[in-house]
Homo-oligomer: A and B are copies of this chain.
Amino acid sequence: MSGDAQISRLKPGRRTDIRRENERAILDAAEKVFAEAGFGGATMQLIADMAGLPKANLHYYFATKEDLYRRVVQQIFEIWLDAASSFDNAPGPVEGIGAYIDAKMDISRTHPHGSKVWASEVMHGAPVIQDYLETTLRDWTNGRIAVIQRWIDEGKMQPINPRHLLYMLWATTQHYADFGHQIQTLNDGKPLTDTQWREAKTSVRDMVLRGIGAI
């Protein structure tokens, strides 16, 4: 049975596996190169080298540089949307916003490249993901604003402007990814340790939750 399961997972796969593995290798390499060099500064050759494939092979899987870039941006966006679930079904701001901060701080640590690519994209006027901003992000934002407003109405936090609270959450959590290099430099050139990351999360959570009068 376990044999069958294995076969049925691999069988329709050998070919599919090759494709999936190569796409994965390319996407990972691309995320890093786009983050470190920007879209304009990134070269297909560099991505290919980092992925361990000849450049022509990249164009077999991704028609153009833009296609590849688009996929990288979509990836981080989906990861963030998933993290947003921490927000829902929370009884109040302490649990909801606290969990959201935790989740976003974790992502900043585990996906710093994706965060930078997103930041870069938005800074350049979001040429590729403008539609996402106008649809998915806008809807998501309005939904959370409603939730926060409800918490305010229920007296669970101070009457602050929910929109600017969200901006502060995004800014502060993503800062640890986007400006990670600056933070590392100010930390004697060494990456934050586990303890320092915990300290960062606690500091951010405490300041924010106290700032909105939830604790």
Tell me the A residues contacting B by CB distance below 8 Å.
35-42, 116, 119-120, 122-126, 130, 133-134, 137-138, 141, 158, 160-161, 163-165, 167-168, 170-172, 174-176, 178-179, 181-183, 185-186, 199-200, 203-204, 206-208, 210-213
Contact = CB atoms under 8 A, between A and B. Distances in A.
This chain's copy number in the assembly? 2
B124 A37 contact: yes
Given A36-B125, A158-B210, A181-B125, A168 B120 contact: no
Contacts of A126: 181-182, 185
Contacts of A37: 40, 124
A141 to B, nearest CB: 6
Given A123-B119, A161-B203, A133 B182 contact: yes
Given A119-B119, A160-B206, A170-B175, 6 more contacts: A35-B123, A38-B41, A119-B178, A126-B181, A167-B172, A211-B212
